[in-house]
A and B are shown apart, each in its own frame.
Chain A
């Protein structure tokens, strides 16, 4: 158990809908990362938050957005869903401090199916 929790575990929704994925980082970790895992794209970085602020952005679609709250949990919002958004979405956390690289620990993921 990595200490990172994600809810829900599974999500089935229709095209055009909006969903919210939730992540709670390990105790003490200030940085949260979101990754998407699909069969054709592999594991891809989406976005990073550090202590409530957006720190880095990857190939995240404009239909997707995220935020990190004062209690450090994070939410990934996916809107106008398309069939191609079906994937596993992982959250990872790390202590992260500027000037150093720390280990990232992954949650169990949310499996999103868009029908």
Chain B
């Protein structure tokens, strides 16, 4: 059972544009929602994370928007740069399951110069 659904599967954005990746979850017990960035041949790197008691979190060019009632959250990358080209994964976890991460399918982002 896929508990976290991510879209789109791939995304092409021009340099300076806004990249938006969306995720939806099913389990209302999830209490932590991180985003990871992965470059080819590397491990996932934690980018930004949010907990359900806030609706938005911003770190530099990266913003998470969280909608608890809709069970959705999204990553916005402002002023996208070619160096942002990577695969992005949303994830969710709950402390009662040992905080294991349930990942979305991933989005391959390409930022054209």
Using an 8 Å CB-CB cutoff, how does the interface string of B81-111 with A read, 1 for contact, 0 for none?
A: 0000000010001110111111111100000
Q: Could you list 14 A-B pairs, sorted by A, with CB under 8 Å?
A: A42-B103, A43-B89, A45-B102, A90-B43, A90-B44, A101-B51, A103-B49, A104-B34, A104-B99, A104-B101, A106-B36, A106-B46, A108-B42, A108-B43
Q: How far is the CA of A55 from the CA of B96 in the complex (A)?
A: 10
Binds B, one of A13-21, A63-71, A74-82, A92-100: A92-100
Residues from chain A with Cβ under 8 Å of B34 in the complex: 103-104
Contact of B43 among A48, A55, A94, A109 (CB under 8 A): A109
Note all chain A residues with C-beta closer than 8 A to B100.
33, 45, 48, 56, 58
A74 to B81 alpha-carbon distance, docked (Å): 37
Any chain A CB within 8 A of the CB of B56? no
Residue in A closest to B89 when the chains form the complex, CB atoms: A43
* New contact pairs (4) apart from A45-B100, A90-B43, A104-B46, CB-CB < 8 Å: A31-B99, A33-B101, A48-B98, A102-B99
How many chain-B residues does the 8 Å CB contact rule pick out?
25
- A94: chain B residues within 8 A (beta carbon): 99
Q: How far is the CB of A70 from chain B (nearest CB, A)?
A: 20
A101-B32, A101-B94, A101-B95 given; A43·B103 CB < 8 A: yes
Interface of A toward B, CB cutoff 8 Å: 2, 4, 31, 33, 35, 42-45, 48, 50, 55-56, 58, 90, 92, 94, 96, 98-109
Q: How far is the CA of A44 from the CA of B44 in the complex (A)?
A: 13
In the bound assembly, the distance between CA atoms of A42 and B2 in angstroms comes to 11
Known: A90-B44, A107-B43. A50 touches B98 (CB 8 A): yes
**B36-54 vs A: 1/0 string, CB under 8 Å?**
1000001111100101000
Given contacts A90-B43, A108-B43, contact A56 B95 (CB under 8 A): no
Neighbouring A residues of B45 by C-beta, 8 Å: 2, 106
Chain A positions within 8 Å of B99 at CB level: 31, 48, 94, 96, 101-102, 104
Please report the C-alpha to C-alpha distance between residue A44 and residue B106 in the assembled complex, in whole angstroms. Answer: 12
Give the chain B neighbours of A42 by CB distance below 8 A. Answer: 103-106
